Amino acid sequence: METKIYSTDQQALQEAADQIKKGELIAFPTETVYGLGADATNEEAIQKIYQAKGRPSDNPLIVHLADKNQISEFVKEIPPLAAKLIDEFMPGPFTIILESNGKIAPAVTAGLDTIAIRIPNHSIGRAFIRETKLPIAAPSANISGKPSPTKAEHVADDLTGRIAGIIYGGATGVGVESTVVDGTGEIPVILRPGGITLEKIEAIAGIVDSPAIKETEKPKAPGMKYNHYEPDAPMFLIDGDDAFFQEQLNHFSNQGKKVAVIASDELASELDANHLYKCGSRNNLSEIAVHLYEALRYFKKSDVDMILMETFPDRGIGQAIMNRLSKAAADRIEQE
């Protein structure tokens, strides 16, 4: 299949939208990562998403809409607390799970009676969705299990020849996916941490819960069950102070390993490393989030044997960062 590159002018967005209406797949930018879009009411088109990504069929998809007033078209009801969260965080890096009314293709919900809905806060992404006049099912536009794409070039690396087109909309802003919240109960449940922090949700909802999922259960939201975000070379999280990180770097280097390092600006300035990616200041975790997936894609297996990765505080946007890193890492090495 030829994968066409689309610009962001009105005519190009119309052409890309026409491909969606024909049942094809188009990658498009959002403020979090690039999404791989298909008509959420077209079962055959949704199956193409699973095939292009190599995605497990029990991993549900998020439905992207252009405006809040569209949500009621696809759900049975919007409970009062869910309505407050929608008003506060949409459009934005926030996904709400509600009871589906059955208008969306079954493959989108992976057989569940709930639907995940999001309204991206990205002018190009929303203009594209609006142009289709359809609900758009869209996971991240990458091969399943690999780091999510924050640039159109990342999408092209993974999916050229597998999809109909890519809208080149520049780099994304948030860098990690949306926060997914189950809004069907009296207490909101964070199923996936993301661009909207726990603290912000607590400020609106008060008590917030977070579940664990067993391997035998169907995930209610993407990112809950399977390994994700894995770089080409095995990555190890180094949990300790800066001196401990250098000790581990020396240890593996002395074994003849070609070791790459992903580190904050502060740690990078202290290390003696030949292969280094600086992902921002540890004092600004939002900056770390923006560069996270670019960092995980930077080193290729042919260039290095392994990657050592700095860890970060598990609070605020750091909760989303560490969630992604824990799913990407081969192991975690902790200082005693």
Residue 150 sits in the same domain as residue 248: no
Query: Does residue 105 share a domain with residue 151?
Result: yes
**102-159 pLDDT, tens per residue?**
999 999 998 899 999 999 999 999 999 999 999 999 999 999 999 999 999 999 999 9
Whether residues 11 and 132 fall in one domain: yes
> Do residues 184 and 48 share a domain?
yes
Question: Per the annotation, where are the binding residues for L-threonine?
Answer: 32, 64, 138, 178
Q: Where is the binding site for ATP, in residues? A: 55, 59, 114, 118, 140, 148, 192, 229
Number of domains the chain is built from: 2
- Do 55 and 98 share a domain, yes or no? yes
Q: Is residue 153 part of a domain?
A: yes
Which structural domain range is residue 330 located in?
Answer: 235-334
Same domain, 196 and 258: no
Q: 17 and 112 share a domain?
A: yes
Q: Is position 321 within any domain?
A: yes
CA distances from residue 197 to 149, 181, 329 in whole angstroms, order as listed: 21, 11, 22
Report the CATH number at residue 268: 3.40.50.11030
The answer as to whether 76 is a domain residue is yes
The pLDDT assigned to 218 comes to 62
In a domain, 115, yes or no: yes
User: Is the pTM value of this prediction over 0.95?
Assistant: no
In a domain, 114, yes or no: yes
Domain termination residue (choose one: 163, 188, 205): 205
Question: Is residue 218, in this structure, part of any structural domain at all?
Answer: no
Does residue 224 fall inside a structural domain? no
Provide the token pair at 45.
């088109």
Domain boundary among 190, 205, 220: 205
Give the pLDDT of residue 136: 98
Mean pLDDT of the chain: 94
Instruction: List residues forming the annotated binding site.
Output: 32, 55, 59, 64, 114, 118, 138, 140, 148, 178, 192, 229
Residues 19 and 151 grouped into a single domain = yes
Last residue of a domain, one of 205, 220, 250: 205
Query: Which residue intervals of 141-284 are DSSP H helices?
Result: 152-159, 198-205, 242-254, 265-268
- Please tell me whether residues 199 and 270 are part of one structural domain: no
Where residue 123 sits, what CATH number does that domain have?
3.90.870.10
Q: How far apart are the first and last CA of the chain?
A: 53
223 within a domain of the structure (yes/no): no
138 closest CA partner among 164, 106, 116, 156: 116
pLDDT of res. 216: 46
Burial (CB < 10 A; 0-12, 13-18, 19+), residue 253, is: middle
List, for the chain, all residue ranges whose pLDDT scores fall below the cut of 70.
211-227
- Residues 110, 256 within the same domain: no
